[in-house]
Structure 1
Amino acid sequence: MIIREASLQDWKQIYPFFREIVAAGTSYAYPEDLNSEQARELWMGQGRTVVAVQDGLVLGTAAMGVNRPGRGNHIATGSFMVDSRHSGRGVGRALGEHLIDWARAAGYRGIQFNAVVESNTVAVKLWSSLGFQIIGTVPGAFKQLDGDYVGLHVMYLSLLD
């Protein structure tokens, strides 16, 4: 598996699992009715976007960049999606490690995830294993498809050694 910058040609492979993940309603608060162009602008228009690829097949993707402009531009953030057909193969971990390495090399002082759904235990476990800490939880900030409200964790990793 290699991780490289995403191209517009990669979107054809990303969009089906982007759509599936958003429709599942368990990890992203994106609108469910986004067409391909709107979804592409949302995902690929937020900073640096990469893909994890094996044998020409996109297994997952990550979008990364500055968490807040101006006086907050020393903290990075990232968003991740892995095609469900390739989950459990270390794709998310590889993308997470890539973000950490990229953010360190770019001189960021930390990485903040603003909205990790607390019931998304796979993501919480992964980010925790990479050194992220839950620094707060906004109760009931995420409405699941079934109408239940769950918290959103703010997770943080200091890059100061």
Structure 2
Amino acid sequence: MQIRTPKRHNPAALVIRPAAAADQDAVWAMLEPVFRAGETYVIDPAIGRDAALAYWYDARTFLAEDDGTPLGTYYLRDNQPGGGAHVCNAGFVTAPAAQGRGVARAMLDHALVTATELGYRAMQFNFVVATNTRAVATWQRAGFDIVGRLPGAFRHPAHGYVDALVMYKDLT
């Protein structure tokens, strides 16, 4: 499924499409600085390329691009197996040069439509680092509620132990 979404302050359109194996170099170029920084994902900052891509591609994986230039990527997967498989989980990464341009929100919109079409009844973010205020605000504007707070659950490289949030949105 492709959804064309207008870019903020730009008449060109952002295309979000399923990521292919041929996109792995572009996806890694976006994941690596985020994972290495260790500020927003509970991924070992020393993770290797192959392990990072295996983690990211072990789901429905998408690429957001403008005129062939990758601007972001996200995955969508069951949050839990079995009795929890009707709730999905997603992870988002925006290329540094594209931050603040509405790419994450466009990917979220795409993910919510895709999740609904796939029959998911809700979307849950299990571990949103509370200091990631842009993401928290984006998810809240999209209707996600903070349904849990895990005090000091994330060891931030600059801020020490900070809270992690559980965020949830009903899709029915």
TM-score, normalising length from structure 1?
Answer: 0.96
Q: Which sections of structure 2, spanning at least 5 residues, go unmatched?
A: 1-13
Confirm or deny that 1:144 pairs with 2:165.
Answer: no
Given that 2:38 and 2:44 are in contact with CA atoms closer than 8 Å, whether structure 1 keeps it comes out as: no
CA distance in 2: counterparts of 1:11 and 1:137, whole angstroms? 34
1:11, distance to aligned residue in structure 2 (A): 1.2
SS in 1 for 2:46: coil
Selected match of 2:24 from 11, 25, 28? 11
Cα deviation code 1:111-151 (max 9, x no counterpart): 10001000100000000000000001100110011360011
In the TM superposition, what are the counterparts of 1:51-66 in structure 2 within 5 Å? 51-66=63-78
Confirm or deny that 1:156 pairs with 2:143.
Answer: no
Q: Which sections of structure 1, spanning at least 5 residues, go unmatched?
A: none
State the one-letter code of the partner of 2:147: I
Selected match of 2:92 from 76, 80, 86? 80
Residue in 1 aligned with 2:8? none
Selected match of 2:35 from 1, 22, 47? 22
Selected match of 2:120 from 103, 108, 117? 108
Residue in 2 aligned with 1:42? 55
SS in 1 for 2:39: coil
SS in 1 for 2:32: helix
Given that 2:40 and 2:132 are in contact with CA atoms closer than 8 Å, whether structure 1 keeps it comes out as: yes
Aligned length: 159
SS in 2 for 1:154: strand
Q: After the TM superposition, which segments of 4 or more aligned residues of structure 1 sit over 6 Å from their partners?
A: none
CA distance in 2: counterparts of 1:117 and 1:52, whole angstroms? 23
Residue in 2 aligned with 1:121? 133
CA distance in 1: counterparts of 2:41 and 2:84, whole angstroms? 23
- RMSD over equivalenced CA pairs, Å: 1.0
State the one-letter code of the partner of 2:164: L
Cα distance, 1:113–1:14 mapped onto 2, change above 3 Å: same
CA distance in 1: counterparts of 2:171 and 2:80, whole angstroms? 17
TM-score, normalising length from structure 2?
Answer: 0.90
